[in-house]
Amino acid sequence: MKTKNEILKMSLNELRKEKDGLLSGKNAKDLFNFRCSDCSNCSNCSDCSDCSGCLKCSWCSECSDCSDCLGCLECLECSGCSDCSDCYLCVGAKNLKYAICNVELTKEEYEKKIKEIIKEWRGAINNKWKGIRWL
């Protein structure tokens, strides 16, 4: 029969193993994330999945470069938002869908604007590096 101390030691060891798994998260590639899965370059997030570059987000999925967001889905470069989806550059938004800079759009308008933004980015990047001679 095991003593109380032996049972306590076993329980503590089991808790340590569980804590180690929870803090790193399944396939999380960063420290200080809690129960995150398949996230990369995130910090201090919890219960997120498939996010990248986020900071202090919780219950988010497929977000990139967001901070302090809660329950968001497929958002990009947002901050302090909650329960939003398909948003870009929103701040403090709540329950928005297909929004850019806190302005809600139709799905079609949103997709069109995002394509325009990506096209502008590519043009700006190409112009910036144009004429640079690579070794």
- Could you tell me the CA-to-CA distances from 10 to 7, 18, 24, 46 in Å, in that order? 5, 12, 22, 27
In angstroms, the CA 22 to CA 84 distance is 26
Q: Is residue 29 part of a domain?
A: yes
Structural domain contains residue 16? no
Amino acid at residue number 45: C
Whether residue 2 lies inside any domain: the answer is: no
Whole-angstrom Cα distance, residue 77 to residue 66? 5
Contact residues for 96 (Cβ-Cβ < 8 A; gap 6+) = 81, 84, 85, 87, 90, 102, 104
Task: Report pLDDT digits (tens) over 76-90.
Answer: 999 999 999 999 999
* 14-18, 35-39, 68-72, 111-115: the lowest-pLDDT one: 14-18
Q: What is the pLDDT of residues 35-56, one digit of tens each?
A: 999 999 999 999 999 999 999 9
Residue 12 placed within a domain:
no
- Enter the tokens of residue 51: 């996010």
| Domain count across the chain | 1
Residue 17 domain-assigned (yes or no) = no
| pLDDT given for residue 1 in this prediction | 59
Q: If pLDDT is split at 50, 70 and 90, which confidence band does 28 have?
A: very low
- At residue 24, the pLDDT reads 45
